[in-house]
Amino acid sequence: MKIDFTTESLDQLAVPALAVFSFDDDPAANGSVCHLPEATRALLGELEESGELTGKLYETTLIHHPAGLAQRLLLVIGAGKESKYSTAVLRRLAGVAVRYLRARGVHEVAWLVGPKTSDAESVQALTEGAVLADYDADTYRSERNSKKRIDNLRFATGGETVSDSARAAAERGRVIAEAQNFTRELVNEPSNRMTPEMLAERARKMAAEFGLACEVLDENEIQALKMGALWGVGQGSEAPPRLIVLRYNPSQSDSAQAPESAPLIAIVGKGITFDTGGISIKPAADMHEMKTDMAGGATMLGVMRAIAQLRPATRVMAVIPAAENMPSGKAYRPGDVLTSMSGKTIEVLNTDAEGRLALADAITYAKEQGAGVIIDAATLTGAVTVALGNGITGVFGWNKDWVNRVRASAEAVGDKMWELPVDEDYRDLYKSSIADLANTGGRHGGAITAAMFVGEFAGDTPWVHLDIAGTRWSNEEKPYLAKGPTGHPVRTLVHLLTHMQAQ
């Protein structure tokens, strides 16, 4: 999608469609509607009186050949109550416009920006919402939606000048949203086209395109580093595991430089490209969704894609343990004892608790590479979905300062997250009588004990865990977003990493 600005007057702007929004208290005169010509607002007033225009959230009213405008179509989108308005709402309104208009054969749309929506934060949100809405998980359909997509989004100021900060914000929003869509593409790939090596190859290709350092450790190197936990998970598959490592360092040409005292941030993502549950096999129902068990790893690849272009003054390393968890004569079994890279031994009580094993060795590797802060994302437990549903990510961590930083970034970009507790007393639940740790703490408090198990390998290093099992996918088509992979929480982590110098 091409994104630009235009200062032409609305009665001269030659685009097929113009999108505006209004609140529910006076939908013919508030929101961005108030910047329309008088003749157009008079027409909207008539629609309000007839009850066709209410301003209810995500309501769409399409007007053909509107008075006072050069555009063939005027789309008015309801923004709901003005008291609940935010950039998160604005992001979704842009998504509604894109999905509604492209379904009707429109390929170019102008969005009217006024004093309340021409600031950098609003322009970035609008751009993100539009680009995210233009994605569909239809790669393998014979009839794709690509012919229906929006080619050009123009921010129309109605004659006002455009600030440099607004232009920069549009570019930033495009970069972040395209990175989020990249993550969605990876998550949507079927497992026959997304083995650990295939994921590694996608990482190599992306790194080469955007100037990141990339290293992929194969099965021999994984075993040589004594990553017994990761190897245990992947040893039953014909597709051997990989450890994918990407690095970003601010260059001397960047305007901002990370101080020497600034910590190396490690972002670690679970990359289980398919999870059968192993010998502790899952029920057949919905097992096909386990192609998405690499969403944490895909998230981190999307984050690295974005920061490689945004160039923050922050050193970042992504570590993605990629494996298939398959049952076979070579697979690890319940009752086995694995020795992790850290030296800690782990009794396997359930081979379906594999993600925490892969993360254990990845986190140890990150620490040995000098990571001063570790943030991981994983589709770790069904328990977090029971606790929080499919719309909120569970946040865990020993270090409250970093937990709060992550939550603040989530709030800033409209991602929903909630902190769940980590409690010393829960450590007893995943103790083993024959090893240092057991790989499951049982059914009760499962999201907590799983997170705490991962945290054991972070030790004293500041660490935050994001359980995205519920939020990595949406089975519901929304007015502003397609059904399928969400790309959550790419925006949160990009915001965190690009605002480090301000914290």
Residues carrying an active site annotation:
282, 356
Hunting for tokens 């350092």 — which residue is that?
213
Task: Give CA–CA dist 388/392, Å, rounded.
Answer: 6
Q: Where are the beta strands (DSSP E) in 254-366?
A: 264-269, 271-275, 316-325, 337-339, 345-347
Dihedrals φ, ψ of 90, to 5°?
-60, -40
Task: Give CA–CA dist 1/135, Å, rounded.
Answer: 10
Task: Give CA–CA dist 233/341, Å, rounded.
Answer: 14
Greatest Cα-to-Cα distance within the chain, rounded to the nearest angstrom: 80
Query: If 0-12 CB within 10 Å is exposed, 13-18 middle and 19+ buried, where does residue 399 land?
Result: middle
Alpha carbon 21 to its chain's center: 26
CA distances from 389 to 277, 472, 474 (A): 22, 12, 11
**Shortest CA distance to 262 belongs to which of 465, 459, 500?**
500
Residue 128 and residue 173 in contact, taking contact as beta carbons nearer than 8 Å: yes
Burial pattern 443-453, b for ≥16 Cβ within 10 A else e, equals eebbbbbbbbb
Task: Give CA–CA dist 152/386, Å, rounded.
Answer: 41
**Shortest CA distance to 394 belongs to which of 463, 471, 487?**
471
Is the omega angle on the peptide bond into residue 489 within 30 degrees of 0, that is, cis? yes
244, containing H or E segment: strand 242-248
